[in-house]
């Protein structure tokens, strides 16, 4: 049955033939290549990329995604030239200044995941205020992975567990997968069923390592600043055809046995 989730700017959000994940991850890659193709500085690509995030939020919210985690800055991205790092920090602050009213209108709550404590104070303030201001918005959670690294998140979890053991609240033999999950940065956010990577790279680049154990992966050649409604719709169409077996057998094979 077709479920029509509404329209935005002449787009239809009919989910017939699509599968919309509850939790979606997007690796926003390809800003530099987008700029290079247009003989523009990389900074122009980052600006266009930030602009496009607003569009992705609107489309995901209208399709019914509940948690959208976007990779905006990795723990490895500090190795870029200082000027580029500074611009990415500046864009991050500007994004929430400029677009929060639009996110509010769309009912989008904002949260952050990553090593936020080690970010400059002005960035931490944006995170705190953005989370506080948006906490009652009902439609979708936008989770921005900033200064995020999957390995660093696992280290964070291990350190919290070690502290619990040291202080006598937990025994080593009681550590389970659930306990490791519950010590991740945002334990209430479901693991992403689908991860989309624009720009053709077939790797996770340290994104959601623990949470992506059984995520479906969808790669597109479209560069992130150009990644729009059509690409997202195609990803959901392809995702509908995936057979998620989780190590078991598909339904069809189970019935034959
Ligand atoms: C993604 O675009 C933005 C960040 C990693 C912050 P890139 O800057 O990695 O773009 P490419 O991969 O060089 O095209
Ligand atoms: C991944 O992209 C990080 C973000 C999109 C924020 P990168 O461009 O940093 O990844 P690599 O270097 O190609 O693996
Ligand atoms: Mg890149």
Residue boundaries of the structural domains of the chain: 20-150+190-246
Backbone angles phi, psi at 143, to 5 degrees: -110, 115
Q: Is 6 helix (H, G, I), strand (E, B) or coil?
A: strand
What is the mean predicted confidence (pLDDT) over 27-50? 98
- Residue pair 212/191 in contact by the 8 Å Cβ criterion: yes
Residue carrying the six token digits 């057979």: 243
Q: Assign 3 a pLDDT band (cuts: 50, 70, 90).
A: very low
Fold observed for domain 20-150+190-246: Undecaprenyl pyrophosphate synthetase (3.40.1180)
pLDDT for res 10 = 79
| pLDDT higher than 60, residue 6 | no
Q: Assign 155 a pLDDT band (cuts: 50, 70, 90).
A: very high
178 catalytic residue (yes or no): no
Backbone angles phi, psi at 123, to 5 degrees: -75, -40
pTM given for the model: 0.96
pLDDT for res 151 = 98
Q: 11-24 pLDDT, tens per residue?
A: 999 999 999 999 99
Cα(163) to centroid(ligand 2), Å: 32
Ligand 2 pocket: which of 148, 205, 220 to mutate (most atoms within 8 A of CB)? 205
Task: Report the alpha-carbon distance of residue 176 to residue 173 in Å, rounded.
Answer: 8
pLDDT for res 1 = 34
Q: How far apart are the first and last CA of the chain?
A: 30
Q: 206-256 pLDDT, tens per residue?
A: 999 999 999 999 999 999 999 999 999 999 999 999 999 999 998 778 887
| pLDDT higher than 80, residue 4 | no
- Residue pair 208/114 in contact by the 8 Å Cβ criterion: no
Query: Whose CA is closest to atom 10 on ligand 2?
Result: 205
| DSSP 8-class letter at 66 | S
Environment of ion ligand 3 (residues, CB < 5 A): 29
Catalytic residue among 14, 77, 164, 226, which? 77
Q: Is 125 helix (H, G, I), strand (E, B) or coil?
A: helix
Ligand 1 pocket check for 32: Cβ under 6 Å: yes
| pLDDT higher than 60, residue 44 | yes
Q: Is 75 helix (H, G, I), strand (E, B) or coil?
A: coil
| pLDDT higher than 60, residue 139 | yes
Q: Is 73 helix (H, G, I), strand (E, B) or coil?
A: strand
pLDDT for res 53 = 98
Catalytic residue among 29, 31, 62, 231, which? 29
β-pairing, 4-8 with 11-14?
A: antiparallel
Task: Report the alpha-carbon distance of residue 7 to residue 138 in Å, rounded.
Answer: 18
Task: Report the alpha-carbon distance of residue 32 to residue 41 in Å, rounded.
Answer: 8
| DSSP 8-class letter at 94 | H
257 catalytic residue (yes or no): no
The helix (run of H) or strand (run of E) holding residue 67 is: strand 67-74
Ligand 2 cavity residues, CB under 6 Å? 27-29, 71-74, 77, 201, 203, 205
| pLDDT higher than 60, residue 73 | yes
- Residue pair 24/69 in contact by the 8 Å Cβ criterion: yes
| pLDDT higher than 50, residue 2 | no
Which ligand neighbours the alpha carbon of 31 most closely? 1
Ligand 1 pocket check for 198: Cβ under 6 Å: no
Ligand 2 pocket: which of 26, 27, 29, 196 to mutate (most atoms within 8 A of CB)? 29
Which ligand neighbours the alpha carbon of 84 most closely? 1
Report the nearest atom of ligand 2 relative to the CA of 205.
Answer: 14
């Amino acid at each position: 049955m077709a479920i029509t989730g509404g329209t935005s700017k002449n787009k239809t959000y009919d989910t017939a033939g699509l599968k919309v994940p509850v939790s979606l991850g997007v690796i926003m890659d390809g800003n530099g290549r987008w700029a290079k193709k247009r003989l523009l500085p990389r900074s122009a690509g980052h600006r266009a990329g930030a602009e496009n995030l607003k569009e992705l939020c609107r489309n995901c919210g209208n399709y019914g995604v509940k948690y959208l985690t976007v990779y905006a800055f990795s723990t490895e991205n500090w190795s870029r030239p200082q000027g580029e790092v500074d611009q990415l920090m500046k864009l991050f602050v500007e994004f929430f200044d400029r677009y929060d009213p639009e996110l509010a209108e769309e009912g989008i709550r904002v949260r952050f995941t990553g090593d936020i404590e080690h970010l400059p104070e002005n960035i931490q303030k944006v995170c705190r205020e953005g989370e506080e201001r948006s906490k009652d918005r009902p439609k979708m959670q936008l989770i921005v992975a900033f200064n995020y690294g999957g390995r660093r998140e696992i280290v964070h979890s291990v350190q919290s567990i070690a502290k619990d053991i040291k202080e006598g609240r937990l025994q080593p033999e009681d550590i389970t997968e659930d306990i490791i999950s519950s010590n991740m940065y945002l334990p209430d956010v479901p693991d992403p069923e689908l991860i989309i990577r624009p720009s053709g790279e077939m790797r996770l680049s340290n994104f959601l390592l623990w949470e992506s154990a059984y995520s479906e992966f969808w790669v597109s050649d479209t560069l992130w600043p150009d990644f729009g409604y059509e690409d997202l719709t195609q990803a959901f169409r392809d995702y509908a055809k995936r057979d998620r077996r989780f190590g078991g057998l598909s339904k069809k094979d189970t019935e034959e046995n």
